[in-house]
Structure 1
Amino acid sequence: MSRLFGPIRQNGYVVRDIEAAMAHWIDVLKVGPWFYIDRVKTDWFRHRGQDSALELSIALANSGDLQIELIQQRNDAPSMYKEFLDSGREGLQHVAFWSTDYQSLYDRALGQGYRLGHEGQIGGEQGRFAYFDTGAPANPHAGTVIEISDISGNKGRFFEYVRERSRTWDGSDPIRRLR
């Protein structure tokens, strides 16, 4: 558990083919069901302080209490996801911490010297999220980004729904497409 952020609640994987990634998690690792949103609508998104027209698809499932997020960027808009892929990597890109007191956690992270990489909002003010750089390329852990996410609203209730569905999943209906 992080003394600054709390427990890790999610591992986020940036992938080039989200359908293939879901199939791997379902067939090989037996994790599911996946809640898949083909085109996520953001209220706003900024990369390194500049507005960016990010287009992405995400899929969410749980392995126990740990949420797994798969992310496929659908365009070339600036983002930390694109930076990750452009560096030749694919896979685990971030660990996420959730908060019902988002602004306080956001301010503490900045106060501790974390550098904001990108941030945005989905579904209103209680859907905010921010990704922080973990250090310069010489840092052996650079590239494992820190995300914080506001779960005080509908997003938190949805995350709990995903977790509960995983507890009783019998392998049927492994991909549940959402709008």
Structure 2
Amino acid sequence: MSRFFGEIRQAGYVVRDIEAAMDYWSRVLGVGPWFYNERVPIENYAYRGQTYEVHNSVALANSGPLQVELIQTRNDAPSMYRDFLAAGHTGLQHNAYWTTSFDTDLARLQEQGFKVAMSGEVGRNGRFVYFDTEDHPGTVIELSEIAGPKGKLFDMIYAASRDWDGREPVRRFPDLGTL
């Protein structure tokens, strides 16, 4: 466990073909079910101080308590994911730490010298930041707020993974407004 961040709660993989990646992880590795959103509704997105309209597809599943995230960029909006691919990488791009005290934790980490490179929101109480730590692939740090509907979604995904029998390997994200 990190003495700065706590437990790693999510491993985020940037992939070129999310459908093939979900198939591989579920069929070959036995991880699933995958909750898939072809276009994640990201609001207030910023990358290195500039705002953009992003189109990312995301799939989430759990392997035990660790959530696995698959990410495919679908447009040319600048992002750390796009930079990762442009550098010739695919695979593990970030580790995420979850918080219900986003503002407090963000301020503490910025006081320690961490600089935000990418940020946005996924629904109410779903803010996220990626710190400028990408000088070593796979060690980008995400701080993800899990209060409210986003936290409930993550709980549902974990619960679905515990008794998953291999059927229905890909499922749609529920509407966060209904959680």
TM range (shorter): over 0.9
Equivalents in 1 of 2:59, 2:103: separation in Å? 26
Equivalents in 2 of 1:60, 1:123: separation in Å? 16
Equivalents in 2 of 1:116, 1:169: separation in Å? 37
Does the CA-based 8 Å contact 1:134-1:143 persist in structure 2? Answer: no
Paired residue total: 174
Equivalents in 1 of 2:108, 2:137: separation in Å? 20
Equivalents in 2 of 1:172, 1:143: separation in Å? 31
Equivalents in 2 of 1:75, 1:176: separation in Å? 23
Q: TM-score, normalised by structure 2?
A: 0.94
Does the CA-based 8 Å contact 1:33-1:174 persist in structure 2? Answer: yes
| Runs of 5+ consecutive residues of structure 2 not aligned to the other structure | none
2:34 pairs with 1:3? no
Q: How does 1:5-84 map to 2 (within 5 A)?
A: 5-84=5-84
Equivalents in 1 of 2:26, 2:138: separation in Å? 26
| Runs of 5+ consecutive residues of structure 1 not aligned to the other structure | none
Aligned to 2:161: 166
Equivalents in 1 of 2:89, 2:3: separation in Å? 29
Q: TM-score, normalised by structure 1?
A: 0.94
What SS does structure 2 have at the residue aligned with 1:43? strand
Q: For residues 29-67 of structure 1, give each alpha carbon's deviation from its aligned partner in whole angstroms, at most 9, with x where no partner exists.
A: 010000000111112200011101111000000000000
Cα distance change on mapping 1:143 and 1:173 into 2, 3 Å: closer
RMSD (CA atoms): 1.2
Q: For residues 53-100 of structure 1, give each alpha carbon's deviation from its aligned partner in whole angstroms, at most 9, with x where no partner exists.
A: 111000000000000000001000011000000100000000000000
Aligned to 2:149: 154
Does the CA-based 8 Å contact 1:9-1:95 persist in structure 2? Answer: yes
Identity %: 55
Equivalents in 2 of 1:36, 1:154: separation in Å? 16
The counterpart of 2:139, out of the listed 135, 138, 144, is 144
